[in-house]
Amino acid sequence: MEILELTATALAEQVRSKQLSAVEVARAYLARIAELDPILHAYITVDADGALEAARAIDARLARGEDVGALAGVPIALKDIFVTRGLRTTCGSRILADWVPPYEGMPSARLRAAGAVVLGKANMDEFAMGSSNENSAFGACRNPWDIERVPGGSSGGSAAAVAARLCLGALGTDTGGSIRQPAALCGAVGIKPTYGRVSRYGVIAFASSLDQVGPLARTTEDAAALLEVIAGHDPLDATSLPQPVGRYREACRRGVRGLRIGVPAEYFAAGLDPEIEGAVRAAIDELVGQGAELVEISLPHTKYAIATYYLLCTAEASSNLARYDGVRFGMRAARPQDLGDLYSRTRHDGFGPEVKRRIILGTFALSAGYYDAYYAKGQRVRTLIRQDFSQAFERCDAIVVPTSPITAFKLGERLDDPLQMYLADIYTISCNLAGLPGLSLPCGFSSQGLPIGLQVLGRPLGEEQVFAVAGAYEQAHDWHRRVPEVRR
Amino acid sequence: MKISPEQVQRVGELARLQLSSEETLALAAQLSRLVAHFEQLDELDTSAVEPTSHVLPLACPQRSDVTRPSLARALLLSPAPLHEDGYFVVPKIID
Amino acid sequence: MPWEVVIGLEVHVQLATQSKLFCACSTQFGAPPNSNVCAVCSGQPGVLPVLNEQAIVLALKLALATGGTIRRRSRFARKNYFYPDLPKGYQISQYDEPLAEHGAVEIWHEGQLRSVRLTRIHLEEDAGKNIHLATGAASLVDLNRAGVPLIEVVSEPDLRAPAEAAEYMRTLRGIVRALGICDGNLEQGSLRCDANISLRPWGQQALGTKVEIKNINSFRFVQKALEYEIERQSELLARGQAIQQETRQWSAEVGRTEAMRSKEEAHDYRYFPEPDLPPVEIDERLIESLRVALPELPLQRRQRLMEEGGLSDYDATELTRETELTDYYHLAVAAGGSPKRVANWMLTELLSRVDDARDVARAPVAPAGMAELLGLVESGKVSGKLAKDIWAKMWTSGGSALKIATDGDLFQQSDSAALEQAVRAVVEAHADRVAAYRAGKTKLMGWFVGQVMQATEGKANPKLVNTLLQQLLDG
């Protein structure tokens, strides 16, 4: 267990100084995957051969005295939304079940260039649509703290793998909370950076104006180390920000003395689990105790966020998913009678129920006669939600709220009611609508032993303040050191 | 607003998505409920509010007009369900 | 005819960039199928578009040349529809915030200058190509053209006749070629148009029901398709039937337009702002630098040729159809050719020897060579008839006019003493005809001239021969 307990930064240091070989590390993690993944199903594809090959290459380069990068030998899981050349990429969907991409995406390329070793592709809700991982075409992933419960979604496999030590760090994507919510439900650290901070090139699109890539890790500092590698301008993504990458690891140790912490009343309303509220309020007290200044703020349009989000994300998704037509890649329905049949049956057979629901909803929101009332209206309310935040950030440097109103729920419990499922995204969605950075870290456990997440939101490109708050809280507690005991 | 099964069918045609009659009925009910929830946005007067389509204050970056090699054709075509003589193949298109 | 014809054109102009609009694949025409295709232009999962700056520059040139209003901030939008040649299931185009609006194209038609107003100029990516096999149950898809930059130039419904529409398209082609923003190769699809046509009773303000004819790729076809459509619609209206608002296509094989089978209800393009591309901001300095560098346009060139060279309306129009022709003309005149002689020779002898007027830029006889030949004709050293023979030799063997004339002894004989001998010989050999001429059959003069020309292998100066013959026969 010794190798498995090292943090990413400590492990990379040991690999670089040849106290540990990258191959040893990869073997230790692959052995753990072989033992536990049949229970958890955190991976859709485990690439043992590829991982060992990459690890051997790193050891060989180290033997030649080369610098292999900040993440030397760090074993990583990639959400199966990241396009990997030559390695099957499914996006959790039947329609891409056998797709082997002809190119490599930017976030994974940057990780590999920094010496990280990719163990495999993590389970997820189909096309990142879901908050429970139950929408995966390859079967649900389980929560390592209680395998009868969901790990959250859509990056559920990434979060479960990090929490259960089936990888040391992972990449996820977050369109409406898909990194932060599973991180909260699995007891991991996850950050969705500012929109445009990490390249989306080679990240399969769900809702382009909201999607953002981010790391999941066991500690705030590991998340910061991963983000430092994947962040930064990419000329292949026109929405990529040109500003230099911040010093996130250093920020984790900066402390909160003098920082103004905003707490919005709207995030502590009906529907919030009292145990979660208690844990989050205690965390706020902790930060105040460390010298932060508490500021009460208001985000008055919060209650409109769900409607706004689901109008916009489904509309964009309906367009982004049009390319899955059975012509150039992916599944094709057998024996199509004509072109129309090829399209409509391929898409009927290839997409799962949630994806179909969102395609229909999004197509409707954009269709003639409804565009202004739905899509355009959503875009205008998005402006109001952004304004809420820009006004709030005039008075504070970071906002601290719960990540999810509930802890991990039972598999199957919420599948029949899409609206109830969507409403649980209430605390994570506004951050995407406003393009802000948001981080979730563990801040306690419920009486049932389920992790609780604390969410820190920052200004655009305010990742350093977010890490400062998260780091300050984390160093005062050991929630993040607890390891789930996976029981059948 | 209530969404009828016929509307769901019509939207399904636009989205080139075949739906069984059970799927259509279920979607009509679910969408009606979702759309009813979305209509809470009507409480807000947004007549003077600019729509947000990009959250970033960025102008579109432009690349120089330089070519780079395309994909090897075998790599492009191999993931295709059906290809022949360097072409993707689809059922006969009738305009 | 009881109906007024109203026509508007949407012309798609392929921009002359090296790489595609949103990726770095080559735009080269004629490559093997699917060889100029990458992850981006084949719409693979996870790819993103990156805008080609040259496409913006080329589009701005046309906007400036037509006096359009350029938006400082324009936006791309997605046009959603399914078709095998459209890899992403949407086309990146522009919708309610196009690159430029307004402006006009001046056309010279039937001796009149007309101004055709433009609605807008916007950028978009081209689709690939579907190949419909005559036999079999399959169609083939080639994505080489997918993502090639186009501008769509939308005119107001200002055109009133098929020939006028064709002239508008021809003029627009001349402008984009003069600007160097499009190669103008119609046969390769570099310019294609959709024509909107409606008929209304004379004097009525409201437009009639509009029919759209899709994807016409030649001037001739645009005219024929519209002529056919006018006939079809007037017949329907005459029978009291209503015109169906629909999309039709021109079938060159059968010479008529045909309704397209795609369902009208399927056209709900669900435009929305392209989230992968922030708004395009145009710098005022860029606009100014392009404005000052605009070249002379065909209509201005035409005016200048008429004023400076004294050319006729017809000659000036034809010589300014293609930049290469105008350039050749200017070089030939600069080398000493007389404007009218150069124009005349170019439109007859030069154009008859090339397949495409643009090929004159690579003609085997340079403008200075033509000017030299025309100089010999002008000074009387070479006859017009022999000049054509010399021209033919210049074309095939490449020598100078003077050298070919010298080597082949093709100079015009203007020496009276030598010619008088030849004339005398002809007269003496045909005493009977001389008698007939003198008896009043003066038409025989032509015959005598011909005989002398034959005897001198065409080299005799015909004017001099005439004078000499007259002296002998009448004297």
Determine the distance in angstroms separating the CA of A429 from the nearest CA of chain B, rounded to an integer: 14
Q: Is A367 a catalytic residue?
A: no
Confidence of residue C415 (pLDDT cuts 50, 70, 90): confident
Q: Which of C51, C82, C278 sits opposite A343 (nearest CB)?
A: C82
Do residue A371 and residue C270 have CB atoms under 8 angstroms apart?
yes
CA distance A434 to A182: 20
Nearest-Cα residue of chain C relative to residue A362:
C270
Closest C-alpha among C33, C126, C38 to residue B89:
C33
Residues of A in contact with C46 (CB under 8 A): 82-83, 101, 105, 200-205
Encode pLDDT of C265-295 as tens digits.
Answer: 457 999 999 999 999 999 999 999 999 999 9
Q: How does strand A43-46 pair with strand A117-122? A: antiparallel
- What integer best gives the mean pLDDT of chain C? 89
Mean residue pLDDT across chain A = 96
| Tokens read off for C458 | 């065409």
pLDDT tens-digit series, residues A101-136 = 999 999 999 999 999 999 999 999 999 999 999 999
Min distance B13 CA to chain C CA atoms (Å): 8
Q: Is B53 left (phi over 0), alpha (psi -120 to 50) or beta?
A: alpha
Q: Residue C465 has what pLDDT?
A: 82
What backbone torsions phi and psi does residue C121 show, to the nearest 5 degrees?
Answer: -130, 120
CA angle C36, C38, C40 (to 5 degrees): 130
What pLDDT, in 10s, does the model give residues B61-80? 999 999 999 999 999 999 99
Q: Is A360 on the interface with B (CB under 8 A)?
A: yes
pLDDT on residue C262: 58
First to last CA, chain A: 20
Provide the token pair at A399: 């906002």
Does residue C150 surpass a pLDDT of 70? yes
Calculate helix-pair angle for C53-65, C162-178, nearest 10 degrees.
Answer: 120
Does any CB of chain B come closer than 8 Å to the CB of residue A350?
no
B20-55: string of b/e by CB count within 10 Å (b at 16+)?
Answer: eeebbebbbebbbebbeebeebeeeebeebeebbbb
Partner-chain contact A203 C270, CB within 8 Å: no
In single-letter form, the type of residue at position A284 comes to I
As a whole number, mean pLDDT of residues A155-160 equals 98
- The residue from A108, A131, A132, A154 that is catalytic is A154
Look at A53-67, A443-457, C92-106, C206-220 and tell me which has the smallest mean pLDDT.
C206-220
Chain A (109-168) residues lying within 8 Å, Cβ to Cβ, of chain B: none
**pLDDT, tens digit, for every residue of A70-103?**
999 999 999 999 999 999 999 999 999 999 999 9
C neighbours by CB contacts (3+ pairs under 8 Å): A, B
pLDDT tens column, C120-146: 999 999 999 999 877 778 999 999 999
Q: What is the pLDDT of residues A342-401, one digit of tens each?
A: 999 999 999 999 999 999 999 999 998 899 999 999 999 999 999 999 999 999 999 999
Determine the Cα–Cα distance for residues A134 and A187; give it in Å rounded to an integer: 19
* pTM of the model as a whole: 0.91
Burial class (CB in 10 A: 0-12, 13-18, 19+), C349: middle
Length of chain B: 95
Question: Can you tell me which residue has the tokens 């004379």?
Answer: C202
Cβ–Cβ gap C25/B68 under 8 Å: yes
- Summarize the confidence of residues C211-217 as an average pLDDT: 90
Residue A457 CA neighbour count, 13 Å, CB half: 28
The H or E element that residue C427 is part of is helix C416-429
Chain C residues 130-189 with a CB less than 8 Å from chain B:
130-133, 136-143
Confidence of residue A461 (pLDDT cuts 50, 70, 90): very high
Query: Is the minimum CB–CB distance between B38 and chain A shorter than 8 Å?
Result: yes
Residue A51's pLDDT band (cuts 50, 70, 90): very high
Q: Which of C27, C29, C42 to mutate to test the interface with B (most CBs of B within 10 A)?
A: C42
Residue B95: the pLDDT is 64
Average pLDDT, stretch C162-170?
Answer: 94
C449: left (phi over 0), alpha (psi -120 to 50) or beta: alpha
Pairing of strands A260-264, C104-109: unpaired
How confident is the model at residue A169, as a pLDDT?
A: 98
φ/ψ bin of A435: left (φ > 0), alpha (ψ from -120 to 50), beta (otherwise): left
- B chain contacts of residue A306, beta-carbon cutoff 8 Å: 37
3-state secondary structure chain C: CCEEEEEEEEEEEECCCCECCCCCCECCCCCCCCCCCCCCCCCCCCCCCCEEHHHHHHHHHHHHHCCCEECCEECCEEEECCCCCCCCCEEEECCCCCCEECCEEEEEECCEEEEEEEEEEEEEECCCEEEECCCCCEEEEECCCCCCEEEEEEECCCECCHHHHHHHHHHHHHHHHHCCCCCCCHHHCCEEEEEEEEEEECCCCCCCCCEEEEEECCHHHHHHHHHHHHHHHHHHHHCCCCCCCEEEEEECCCCEEEECCCCHHHCCCCCEECCCCCCEECCHHHHHHHHHCCCCCHHHHHHHHHHHHCCCHHHHHHHCCCHHHHHHHHHHHHCCCCHHHHHHHHHHHHHHHCCCHHHHHHCCCCHHHHHHHHHHHHCCCCCHHHHHHHHHHHHHHCCCHHHHHHHCCCCCECCHHHHHHHHHHHHHHCHHHHHHHHCCCCCHHHHHHHHHHHHCCCCECHHHHHHHHHHHHHC
Task: Please check whether residue A14 touches B, CB under 8 A.
Answer: no
pLDDT at C475: 65
Can you give the pLDDT at residue C431?
81
Give me the residues of B, 41-80, that contact A with CB < 8 A.
Answer: 41-42, 44, 46, 49-56, 58, 60-61, 63, 71, 75-76, 78-80
- Chain A nearest CA to B3, separation (Å): 10
Question: Given its phi and psi angles, is residue A22 left (phi above 0), alpha (psi -120 to 50 degrees) or beta?
Answer: alpha
Strand partners, A212: A174
Residue A178 designated active-site = yes
Is A356 annotated in the active site?
A: no
The continuous run of DSSP H or E covering B25 comes out as: helix B21-38
Question: In the predicted model, is pLDDT for residue C380 greater than 80?
Answer: no
How would DSSP label each residue in A40-70? H--EEEE-HHHHHHHHHHHHHHHHTT----T
Using CB atoms, pick whichever of A102, A303, A378 lies closest to residue B71: A102
Distance CA A420, CA A77 (A): 30
Q: How far is CA C322 from the centre of its chain?
A: 6
User: β-strand A75-79 against A169-174: which pairing, if any?
Assistant: parallel
| Segment C436-446 mean pLDDT | 83
Burial class (CB in 10 A: 0-12, 13-18, 19+), A63: exposed
Residue A234's identity, in one-letter code, is: D
Element (H, E) at A27: helix A22-40
Distance from C-alpha of A359 to C-alpha of B11, rounded to nearest angstrom: 9
Question: Residue A1: which pLDDT band, with cuts at 50, 70 and 90?
Answer: very low
Rounded average pLDDT over B69-95: 93
Minimal CA separation from B53 to chain C, in Å? 7
- Lowest pLDDT segment from A154-163, C228-237, C254-263: C254-263
DSSP C238-279: HTTPPPPPEEEEEETTTTEEEE--S-GGG-----EE-TTSPP
Nearest CA in chain C to B85: C33
Q: How far is CA C296 from CA C170, C320, C325, in A?
A: 17, 11, 14
Please list every residue in chain B whose beta carbon sits closer than 8 Å to the beta carbon of residue A83: none
**Is the Cβ pair C89, A236 closer than 8 Å?**
no
Matching residue, tokens 């102009």: C13
Q: Could you read off the pLDDT of C74-84 as tens digits, one per residue?
A: 999 999 999 99
Quick check: C35 and B73 CB within 8 A? Answer: yes
C39 touches chain A (CB under 8 A): yes
Nearest to B41 among A336, A367, A378 (CB): A378
Report the residue of chain B nearest C39, measured CA to CA: B71
- Cα distance between residue A139 and residue A133, in whole Å: 8
Q: How big is chain B by its Cα radius of gyration, in Å?
A: 23
Q: Which chains touch B (3 or more CB pairs under 8 A)?
A: A, C
Q: With 60 as the cut, is the pLDDT of residue C263 above it? A: no
